[in-house]
Amino acid sequence: MDKPIPDSTSPVADHGSRFYEELAVWWPLISPPEEYAEEAETFRRLFDEYATTPIRTVLELGSGGGNNASFLKAHYELTLTDLSPAMLEISRALNPECQHIQGDMRTLRLGETFDGVFVHDAIGYMTSEADLRAALETAYLHLRPGGVALFVPDYVRETFVESTSHHGSDGDDRAVRYLEWAFDPDPADSTFTVVYTFVLRDPDGTIHVEHDQHTLGLFSREVWLRLLRDVGFEPERVVESYGRDVFIGRKRG
Ligand SMILES: C[S@@+](CC[C@H](N)C(=O)[O-])C[C@H]1O[C@@H](n2cnc3c(N)ncnc32)[C@H](O)[C@@H]1O
Protein backbone atom coordinates (compact mmCIF):
# COMPACT_ATOMS: atom_id res chain seq x y z
CA MET A 1 0.00 0.00 0.00
CA ASP A 2 1.21 3.53 -0.74
CA LYS A 3 2.49 5.50 2.19
CA PRO A 4 0.10 8.21 3.47
CA ILE A 5 0.40 11.71 2.04
CA PRO A 6 1.69 14.06 4.75
CA ASP A 7 0.32 17.59 5.02
CA SER A 8 2.62 20.10 3.41
CA THR A 9 4.24 22.37 5.92
CA SER A 10 6.35 24.16 3.32
CA PRO A 11 6.20 27.93 3.38
CA VAL A 12 4.76 29.51 0.24
CA ALA A 13 7.53 31.45 -1.45
CA ASP A 14 7.20 34.31 -3.91
CA HIS A 15 8.81 34.61 -7.37
CA GLY A 16 9.20 30.88 -7.76
CA SER A 17 12.18 30.46 -5.49
CA ARG A 18 11.18 26.93 -4.34
CA PHE A 19 10.30 25.85 -7.87
CA TYR A 20 13.70 26.84 -9.24
CA GLU A 21 15.83 25.96 -6.22
CA GLU A 22 14.96 23.00 -3.98
CA LEU A 23 12.35 21.57 -6.41
CA ALA A 24 14.59 22.03 -9.49
CA VAL A 25 15.52 18.35 -9.53
CA TRP A 26 11.89 17.63 -10.44
CA TRP A 27 11.87 20.09 -13.35
CA PRO A 28 12.36 17.52 -16.18
CA LEU A 29 9.19 15.74 -14.97
CA ILE A 30 7.25 18.94 -14.26
CA SER A 31 8.09 20.31 -17.71
CA PRO A 32 9.41 17.51 -19.96
CA PRO A 33 11.82 18.73 -22.68
CA GLU A 34 10.10 16.71 -25.44
CA GLU A 35 6.99 18.91 -25.09
CA TYR A 36 8.97 21.88 -26.44
CA ALA A 37 9.78 20.59 -29.95
CA GLU A 38 6.93 22.36 -31.71
CA GLU A 39 7.32 25.76 -30.09
CA ALA A 40 11.11 25.72 -30.43
CA GLU A 41 10.57 25.21 -34.17
CA THR A 42 8.24 28.25 -34.19
CA PHE A 43 10.95 30.38 -32.57
CA ARG A 44 13.58 29.09 -35.02
CA ARG A 45 11.32 30.08 -37.93
CA LEU A 46 10.77 33.55 -36.45
CA PHE A 47 14.51 34.09 -36.03
CA ASP A 48 15.03 33.10 -39.66
CA GLU A 49 12.14 35.19 -40.92
CA TYR A 50 13.20 38.40 -39.16
CA ALA A 51 16.98 38.13 -39.57
CA THR A 52 18.54 40.13 -42.35
CA THR A 53 21.80 38.15 -42.07
CA PRO A 54 22.15 34.54 -40.85
CA ILE A 55 21.80 33.88 -37.14
CA ARG A 56 24.58 31.72 -35.75
CA THR A 57 24.94 32.72 -32.08
CA VAL A 58 21.99 33.11 -29.66
CA LEU A 59 21.93 34.26 -26.04
CA GLU A 60 19.01 33.04 -23.91
CA LEU A 61 18.04 34.99 -20.78
CA GLY A 62 16.23 32.90 -18.13
CA SER A 63 16.94 29.62 -19.93
CA GLY A 64 15.79 27.51 -16.93
CA GLY A 65 16.08 23.78 -17.49
CA GLY A 66 17.06 24.42 -21.11
CA ASN A 67 14.02 22.82 -22.75
CA ASN A 68 13.71 25.12 -25.76
CA ALA A 69 17.49 25.17 -25.93
CA SER A 70 17.57 21.39 -26.30
CA PHE A 71 15.99 21.88 -29.76
CA LEU A 72 17.42 25.28 -30.74
CA LYS A 73 20.99 24.04 -30.16
CA ALA A 74 20.75 22.01 -33.40
CA HIS A 75 20.59 25.34 -35.28
CA TYR A 76 22.53 27.87 -33.19
CA GLU A 77 25.51 28.17 -30.88
CA LEU A 78 23.73 28.89 -27.59
CA THR A 79 24.80 30.75 -24.47
CA LEU A 80 22.31 29.93 -21.69
CA THR A 81 21.89 32.22 -18.67
CA ASP A 82 19.66 31.98 -15.62
CA LEU A 83 19.36 33.38 -12.13
CA SER A 84 19.18 29.94 -10.52
CA PRO A 85 22.32 27.78 -10.17
CA ALA A 86 20.07 24.72 -9.60
CA MET A 87 18.24 25.24 -12.90
CA LEU A 88 21.55 25.80 -14.72
CA GLU A 89 22.66 22.43 -13.32
CA ILE A 90 19.56 20.74 -14.81
CA SER A 91 20.18 22.45 -18.14
CA ARG A 92 23.88 21.47 -18.15
CA ALA A 93 22.85 17.81 -17.90
CA LEU A 94 20.48 18.22 -20.87
CA ASN A 95 22.67 20.56 -22.92
CA PRO A 96 26.30 19.80 -22.05
CA GLU A 97 27.50 21.30 -25.34
CA CYS A 98 26.11 24.78 -24.49
CA GLN A 99 27.81 27.46 -22.43
CA HIS A 100 25.99 28.17 -19.13
CA ILE A 101 26.35 31.39 -17.16
CA GLN A 102 24.60 32.45 -13.96
CA GLY A 103 23.10 35.95 -14.06
CA ASP A 104 20.07 38.16 -13.59
CA MET A 105 18.48 39.24 -16.88
CA ARG A 106 18.07 42.76 -15.50
CA THR A 107 21.77 43.31 -14.88
CA LEU A 108 23.71 40.70 -16.88
CA ARG A 109 26.55 42.24 -18.90
CA LEU A 110 28.70 39.71 -20.75
CA GLY A 111 30.68 42.26 -22.77
CA GLU A 112 29.90 40.48 -26.06
CA THR A 113 27.14 40.53 -28.65
CA PHE A 114 25.10 37.79 -30.30
CA ASP A 115 23.16 37.42 -33.56
CA GLY A 116 20.00 36.62 -31.62
CA VAL A 117 18.61 36.97 -28.08
CA PHE A 118 15.80 34.72 -26.86
CA VAL A 119 13.68 35.27 -23.74
CA HIS A 120 10.88 32.75 -23.31
CA ASP A 121 8.47 32.51 -20.34
CA ALA A 122 11.18 33.65 -17.88
CA ILE A 123 10.35 37.22 -18.94
CA GLY A 124 7.23 36.73 -16.78
CA TYR A 125 9.38 37.22 -13.68
CA MET A 126 9.69 40.90 -14.61
CA THR A 127 6.83 42.26 -12.51
CA SER A 128 7.29 46.04 -12.88
CA GLU A 129 7.83 48.25 -15.91
CA ALA A 130 11.26 49.12 -14.52
CA ASP A 131 12.26 45.43 -14.38
CA LEU A 132 10.84 44.67 -17.81
CA ARG A 133 12.65 47.63 -19.26
CA ALA A 134 15.92 46.51 -17.63
CA ALA A 135 15.59 43.01 -19.15
CA LEU A 136 14.81 44.45 -22.60
CA GLU A 137 17.85 46.67 -22.28
CA THR A 138 20.04 43.67 -21.40
CA ALA A 139 18.78 41.98 -24.57
CA TYR A 140 19.45 45.09 -26.65
CA LEU A 141 22.99 45.53 -25.34
CA HIS A 142 23.85 41.89 -26.15
CA LEU A 143 22.55 42.06 -29.71
CA ARG A 144 24.75 42.92 -32.65
CA PRO A 145 23.45 45.56 -35.08
CA GLY A 146 21.11 43.76 -37.48
CA GLY A 147 20.34 41.10 -34.84
CA VAL A 148 16.92 39.88 -33.71
CA ALA A 149 15.50 39.43 -30.20
CA LEU A 150 12.41 37.32 -29.42
CA PHE A 151 10.37 37.78 -26.23
CA VAL A 152 7.61 35.27 -25.40
CA PRO A 153 5.52 36.18 -22.33
CA ASP A 154 2.86 33.61 -21.40
CA TYR A 155 0.29 36.40 -21.41
CA VAL A 156 -0.14 40.07 -22.14
CA ARG A 157 -2.82 42.07 -20.33
CA GLU A 158 -5.20 41.62 -23.30
CA THR A 159 -4.89 37.80 -23.43
CA PHE A 160 -4.86 36.90 -19.71
CA VAL A 161 -7.62 34.53 -18.59
CA GLU A 162 -7.90 32.79 -15.26
CA SER A 163 -7.13 29.07 -15.68
CA THR A 164 -6.84 25.82 -13.77
CA SER A 165 -5.09 22.79 -15.22
CA HIS A 166 -3.30 19.65 -14.16
CA HIS A 167 -0.16 18.08 -15.58
CA GLY A 168 2.54 15.56 -14.76
CA SER A 169 4.76 12.80 -16.02
CA ASP A 170 6.61 9.67 -14.98
CA GLY A 171 10.38 9.28 -14.96
CA ASP A 172 12.38 6.08 -14.55
CA ASP A 173 12.08 6.15 -10.77
CA ARG A 174 10.17 9.32 -9.85
CA ALA A 175 6.78 10.73 -10.83
CA VAL A 176 4.96 14.05 -10.52
CA ARG A 177 1.36 15.22 -10.80
CA TYR A 178 0.44 18.84 -10.20
CA LEU A 179 -2.30 21.44 -10.24
CA GLU A 180 -1.64 24.88 -11.72
CA TRP A 181 -4.01 27.76 -10.98
CA ALA A 182 -3.50 31.18 -12.54
CA PHE A 183 -5.56 34.15 -11.37
CA ASP A 184 -5.30 37.90 -11.17
CA PRO A 185 -6.06 39.21 -7.65
CA ASP A 186 -5.79 42.87 -8.72
CA PRO A 187 -6.49 43.63 -12.39
CA ALA A 188 -5.34 47.22 -11.77
CA ASP A 189 -1.71 46.28 -11.13
CA SER A 190 0.97 44.77 -13.41
CA THR A 191 1.02 41.24 -11.99
CA PHE A 192 -0.93 38.00 -11.76
CA THR A 193 -0.48 34.97 -9.52
CA VAL A 194 0.16 31.31 -10.30
CA VAL A 195 -0.21 28.76 -7.52
CA TYR A 196 1.09 25.20 -7.86
CA THR A 197 0.42 22.10 -5.80
CA PHE A 198 2.82 19.27 -6.60
CA VAL A 199 2.35 15.62 -5.65
CA LEU A 200 5.83 14.11 -5.86
CA ARG A 201 6.62 10.39 -5.78
CA ASP A 202 10.20 9.67 -4.70
CA PRO A 203 12.27 6.74 -5.98
CA ASP A 204 11.50 4.80 -2.75
CA GLY A 205 7.75 5.31 -3.29
CA THR A 206 7.31 8.05 -0.67
CA ILE A 207 4.69 10.61 -1.68
CA HIS A 208 5.00 14.21 -0.60
CA VAL A 209 3.06 17.34 -1.42
CA GLU A 210 4.67 20.71 -2.01
CA HIS A 211 3.25 24.03 -3.04
CA ASP A 212 4.62 27.19 -4.52
CA GLN A 213 3.34 30.62 -5.49
CA HIS A 214 4.68 32.77 -8.30
CA THR A 215 4.04 36.44 -9.00
CA LEU A 216 4.33 37.18 -12.71
CA GLY A 217 4.26 40.37 -14.77
CA LEU A 218 1.29 41.35 -16.91
CA PHE A 219 1.72 44.23 -19.34
CA SER A 220 -0.39 45.54 -22.18
CA ARG A 221 0.80 45.36 -25.78
CA GLU A 222 1.12 49.13 -25.70
CA VAL A 223 3.54 48.93 -22.73
CA TRP A 224 5.58 46.16 -24.38
CA LEU A 225 5.95 48.03 -27.66
CA ARG A 226 6.72 51.33 -25.93
CA LEU A 227 9.45 49.83 -23.73
CA LEU A 228 10.99 47.97 -26.70
CA ARG A 229 11.11 51.25 -28.61
CA ASP A 230 12.49 53.12 -25.56
CA VAL A 231 15.51 50.84 -25.27
CA GLY A 232 16.27 51.15 -28.99
CA PHE A 233 14.53 48.24 -30.72
CA GLU A 234 12.42 48.37 -33.86
CA PRO A 235 9.54 46.34 -32.41
CA GLU A 236 6.93 44.09 -34.00
CA ARG A 237 4.35 41.74 -32.57
CA VAL A 238 3.11 38.44 -33.98
CA VAL A 239 0.74 35.83 -32.57
CA GLU A 240 2.13 32.28 -32.63
CA SER A 241 0.24 29.01 -32.98
CA TYR A 242 -0.48 28.65 -29.23
CA GLY A 243 -2.06 32.12 -29.32
CA ARG A 244 0.77 33.83 -27.44
CA ASP A 245 2.02 37.26 -28.42
CA VAL A 246 5.66 37.15 -29.47
CA PHE A 247 7.47 40.48 -29.40
CA ILE A 248 10.25 40.84 -31.92
CA GLY A 249 12.94 43.45 -31.47
CA ARG A 250 15.25 44.28 -34.31
CA LYS A 251 18.42 46.28 -33.74
CA ARG A 252 19.09 48.64 -36.59
CA GLY A 253 22.08 47.40 -38.58
C1 LIG B 1 9.99 28.46 -16.59
S2 LIG B 1 11.71 28.58 -16.37
C3 LIG B 1 12.31 28.80 -18.03
C4 LIG B 1 12.21 27.56 -18.86
C5 LIG B 1 12.70 27.78 -20.26
N6 LIG B 1 11.80 28.64 -20.99
C7 LIG B 1 12.90 26.48 -21.02
O8 LIG B 1 12.72 26.48 -22.25
O9 LIG B 1 13.29 25.50 -20.39
C10 LIG B 1 11.88 30.23 -15.75
C11 LIG B 1 13.29 30.56 -15.34
O12 LIG B 1 13.39 31.96 -15.14
C13 LIG B 1 14.44 32.15 -14.24
N14 LIG B 1 14.45 33.54 -13.74
C15 LIG B 1 13.56 34.13 -12.90
N16 LIG B 1 13.94 35.40 -12.70
C17 LIG B 1 15.07 35.62 -13.42
C18 LIG B 1 15.93 36.73 -13.60
N19 LIG B 1 15.70 37.90 -12.99
N20 LIG B 1 17.02 36.59 -14.41
C21 LIG B 1 17.28 35.40 -15.02
N22 LIG B 1 16.49 34.31 -14.88
C23 LIG B 1 15.40 34.42 -14.08
C24 LIG B 1 14.19 31.10 -13.17
O25 LIG B 1 15.34 30.85 -12.39
C26 LIG B 1 13.77 29.92 -14.04
O27 LIG B 1 14.82 29.05 -14.29
Residues 149 and 165 occupy one common structural domain = no
Query: Is 206 a member of any domain?
Result: yes
Residues 88 and 161 occupy one common structural domain = no
Mean of all residue pLDDT scores within the chain: 93
252: pLDDT strictly greater than 60: yes
Residues 141 and 67 occupy one common structural domain = yes
Mean pLDDT, residues 208-235 taken together: 97
Query: Is 67 a member of any domain?
Result: yes
Q: How far is the CA of 100 from the centre of ligand 1 (A)?
A: 13
Query: Is 6 a member of any domain?
Result: no
Per-residue confidence at 94, pLDDT binned at 50, 70, 90? Answer: very high
Residues 50 and 135 occupy one common structural domain = yes
Characterise 135 by phi-psi region: left (phi > 0), alpha (psi -120 to 50), beta (else). alpha
Residues 151 and 162 occupy one common structural domain = no
Residues 233 and 189 occupy one common structural domain = no
Of 14, 20, 34, 38, best ligand 1 pocket probe by most atoms within 8 Å of the beta carbon: 20
13: pLDDT strictly greater than 80: no
Ligand 1 site residues, Cβ closer than 6 angstroms: 20, 36, 61-68, 82-84, 87, 104-106, 120-122, 125
- Kindly list the strands in the beta sheet with 245-250, ordered across the sheet, starting from the edge strand earlier in the chain: 99-102, 77-82, 57-61, 114-119, 143-151, 245-250, 234-239
What integer pLDDT is reported at residue 17 of this predicted model?
A: 67
Instruction: Encode pLDDT of 121-180 as tens digits.
Output: 999 999 999 999 999 999 999 999 999 999 999 999 999 999 999 999 999 999 999 999
8: pLDDT strictly greater than 90: no
Query: Is 149 a member of any domain?
Result: yes
Q: How far is the CA of 104 from the centre of ligand 1 (A)?
A: 9
Residues 149 and 169 occupy one common structural domain = no
pLDDT > 70 fraction of the chain, expressed in percent and rounded: 93
Q: Which helix (H) or strand (E) holds 154?
A: none
Domain that holds residue 126: 30-156+219-250
What integer pLDDT is reported at residue 14 of this predicted model?
A: 40
What pTM, to 2 d.p., does this model score? 0.93
Mean pLDDT, residues 95-122 taken together: 98
| Count: domains in the chain | 2
Instruction: Encode pLDDT of 39-88 as tens digits.
Output: 999 999 999 999 999 999 999 999 999 999 999 999 999 999 999 999 99
Secondary structure (DSSP) of 183-233: E-S-TTSSEEEEEEEEEEE-TTS-EEEEEEEEEEE---HHHHHHHHHHHT-
Query: Is 99 a member of any domain?
Result: yes
